[in-house]
Amino acid sequence: MSDQRASRPLRLAFYGDDFTGSTDALEVLAFSGLRCALFLSVPTPQQMDALGGFDAIGVAGSSRAMTTAELDAHLPGVFAGLAALPTPLVHYKVCSTFDSAPATGSIGHVMELAREAFTQPLIPIVAATPALGRYCLFGHLFARSGTDGQVYRIDRHPIMSVHPVTPMHESDLARHLGQQTTMPIGHLPLTRFEAAAGALAGQLAAMAPSFQAVVLDGLEAGHLTQAGECLQQMASAQASPLFVVGGSGVEYGLTQHWQQQDGQAAPAKAADRYSQFEAVEQVLVVSGSASRLSATQIQTAVDTGFREVTIDVQALSLESQAGAAVQRLVREVLDVLATGASVVMHTARGPDDARIDALIQALQAQGYSADAARHHGGRLVSDRLGEVVDAIVRAHPLRRLVLSGGDTSSRITQVLAPDALEIKARLAPGAPLCRLLSNQPYLQGLELALKGGQMGSADYFVKALRGSGLPA
Domain boundaries of the chain, sorted by first residue? 3-273, 284-466
As a whole number of angstroms, the distance between CA 401 and CA 450 comes to 9
Residue 67: strand, helix, or coil: coil
Kindly indicate the confidence band of residue 470, based on its pLDDT and cuts at 50, 70 and 90. Answer: low
Give 351-368 pLDDT, tens digit per residue.
888 888 888 888 888 888
DSSP state of 305: T
Helix (H) or strand (E) holding 152: strand 151-153
Q: What is the mean predicted confidence (pLDDT) over 159-164?
A: 86
Kindly indicate the confidence band of residue 443, based on its pLDDT and cuts at 50, 70 and 90. Answer: very high
User: For position 271, what pLDDT does the model report?
Assistant: 64
Hey, do 3-273 and 284-466 end up sharing a CATH topology, with the first three levels equal?
Answer: no
Domain range 284-466, its CATH number among 3.40.980.20, 3.30.70.260, 3.40.640.10, 3.40.47.10: 3.40.980.20
Kindly indicate the confidence band of residue 410, based on its pLDDT and cuts at 50, 70 and 90. Answer: confident
Angle, CA of 80, 83 and 88, to the nearest 5°: 170
Q: What is the mean predicted confidence (pLDDT) over 329-353?
A: 95
User: For position 380, what pLDDT does the model report?
Assistant: 83
Q: What is the mean predicted confidence (pLDDT) over 270-299?
A: 90
User: For position 268, what pLDDT does the model report?
Assistant: 56
Q: What is the mean predicted confidence (pLDDT) over 64-80?
A: 95
Which range of 371-385, 391-405, 418-432 scores highest in mean pLDDT? It is: 391-405
Query: In 3D, which of 64, 109, 118 has the Cα closest to residue 90?
Result: 118
Kindly indicate the confidence band of residue 2, based on its pLDDT and cuts at 50, 70 and 90. Answer: very low
Q: What's the residue count for the chain?
A: 472
Among the ranges given (21-35, 265-279, 370-384, 447-461), the one the predictor scored with the smallest mean pLDDT: 265-279
- Residue 143: pLDDT over 80: yes
Kindly indicate the confidence band of residue 460, based on its pLDDT and cuts at 50, 70 and 90. Answer: very high
As a whole number of angstroms, the distance between CA 143 and CA 157 comes to 7
Tell if the pTM clears 0.75, that is, is over it.
Answer: yes
User: Alpha helices of 207-337 — where are they, by DSSP H?
Assistant: 221-236, 249-261, 268-273, 292-304, 313-317, 319-337
Q: How many CB atoms within 10 Å of residue 313?
A: 25
Q: What is the mean predicted confidence (pLDDT) over 1-7?
A: 45
As a whole number of angstroms, the distance between CA 370 and CA 359 comes to 10
As a whole number of angstroms, the distance between CA 308 and CA 122 comes to 49
Give 38-58 pLDDT, tens digit per residue.
999 999 877 777 777 889 999
Of residues 302 and 49, more confidence is placed in 302
Q: For the structural domain made of 3-273, what CATH number should be given?
A: 3.40.50.10840
User: For position 472, what pLDDT does the model report?
Assistant: 43
Q: Are 10 and 43 in contact (CB under 8 A)?
A: no
What is the chain's mean pLDDT, rounded? 90
